[in-house]
Amino acid sequence: MLKVALPKGRIFDRVHALLSDCGISLRMPDRAYRPECSDDRLSVKVLKAQNVAALVGLGAHDLGFTGHDWVRESQADVVELLDLGFDPVRIVAAVPATTDLDELFSRERVVVVSEYEHLTRSWLEARNVRYHFMRSYGATEVFPPEDADLIVDNTASGRTLVENGLRIADTLLQSTTRVVAHPSAMADPQRRQVIEELMLLMRAVLDARDRVMLEMNIEESKLGALVATLPAMKSPTVSQLYGQNGYAVKVAVRRAQVARLIPELKRLGATDILETELRKVIP
């Protein structure tokens, strides 16, 4: 049985949906942290995202979902298997908008507040800053200017920082949700097989979310020009229409290409164009 740690909070819903699209359903009883899983190979527990990487790194869990920021912060001994791309954020150093960073760093003591102690200390010590570190437990942006000179926090758009009179002085790293595993789980053939099967399904779902299937009909005389225009994973599927002098063409394309591609297909003579959602794409 594979021990899996899922992140509590906003990341949980996206991971839950991903697993569901993979064909793995979870039932979460009220006030419980151990969901019932439809796949009997998996034993699932819900934890704070901040703790997932560290606990997987200790071997308490074989597999986990957490932000790359917490992997780096906890210095966990884990293998990053897959970047899910969920919840992209930057870990930034921010100061009051009127603060001069060189002047600040020349002081005898800089008061710094963050949830990211290791990342913050590493960043400050690389710049020879004399500082006093204080850990925050949420709402880090409210500390300056009265209670802190500088903060290190995560941000998606930077809007909250601006609303609190702060500006970004530096970016320490960029982070998204990752799938991580303990090295011993990857070294064990049985557990590794289960992990690799899960990674295959997740990649297939993520790829499908980025693509759609386009199907269309085209006259024989126009087929060559149409096929030459179509983007494809390998090449379009072409089959002759029954009882007609024409062809049916099918191709999986990037979702972002559709808005420009469909008018071009019409211009080239395609008819009966269908766009279909995909569930999984397995190369």
Distances (CA, A) of 190 to 37, 41, 73, 132, 193: 19, 11, 30, 48, 5
pLDDT band at 282 (very low <50, low <70, confident <90, very high): confident
Which residue segment(s) compose the domain that 234 sits in?
211-277
Percent of the chain with pLDDT over 90: 88
Question: Residue 198: pLDDT above 90?
Answer: yes
- Residue 251 sits in a domain of what CATH number? 3.30.70.120
Average pLDDT, the chain: 94
Averaged pLDDT for residues 174-191: 96
Strands (DSSP E) found in 220-270: 237-240, 246-254
Averaged pLDDT for residues 39-59: 94
The pLDDT of residue 28 is 81
pLDDT band at 125 (very low <50, low <70, confident <90, very high): very high
Q: Which of the 8 DSSP states describes residue 188?
A: S
Question: Residue 232: pLDDT above 90?
Answer: no
Same structural domain, 233 and 110? no
Instruction: Say if 194 falls within a structural domain.
Output: yes
Averaged pLDDT for residues 153-171: 94
Same structural domain, 60 and 15? yes
Question: Residue 233: pLDDT above 80?
Answer: no
Question: Residue 77: pLDDT above 80?
Answer: yes
Same structural domain, 69 and 9? yes
Q: How many domains does the chain have?
A: 3
Averaged pLDDT for residues 96-124: 95
Neighbours of 54 (CB within 10 A): 20
Give the contacts of 158 (CB within 8 A, at least 6 positions apart).
Answer: 92, 168
pLDDT band at 243 (very low <50, low <70, confident <90, very high): confident
Same structural domain, 72 and 97? no
Locate 38 and state its tokens. Answer: 């439809």
Residues 210 and 44: their CA atoms lie apart, in Å, by 28
Averaged pLDDT for residues 117-127: 96
Q: For the segment 3-37, what is each residue's pLDDT rounded down to a tens digit?
A: 999 999 888 999 999 999 999 999 887 777 899 99
Instruction: Say if 283 falls within a structural domain.
Output: no
Question: Residue 98: pLDDT above 80?
Answer: yes
Would you give the distance in Å from CA 220 to the centre of its chain? Answer: 43
What would the DSSP string read from start to end of 226-239? HHHH---SS--EEE
- Residue 60 sits in a domain of what CATH number? 3.40.190.10
The pLDDT of residue 14 is 93
Select from 55, 56, 49 the least CA-distant residue to 10.
Answer: 49
Residues 82 and 62: their CA atoms lie apart, in Å, by 15
Distances (CA, A) of 15 to 19, 70, 142: 6, 17, 30
Residues β-bridged to residue 218: 247
Q: Which of 27-36, 52-61, 100-109 has the lowest mean pLDDT?
A: 27-36
Instruction: Say if 282 falls within a structural domain.
Output: no
Averaged pLDDT for residues 53-73: 96
Q: What are phi and psi of 152, to 5 degrees?
A: -125, 120
The pLDDT of residue 283 is 80
Same structural domain, 109 and 166? yes
Averaged pLDDT for residues 109-136: 96
Question: Residue 104: pLDDT above 90?
Answer: yes
Length of the chain measured in residues = 283
Instruction: Say if 233 falls within a structural domain.
Output: yes
pLDDT band at 151 (very low <50, low <70, confident <90, very high): very high
Whether 107 and 113 have beta carbons less than 8 Å apart is answered as no
The pLDDT of residue 9 is 84
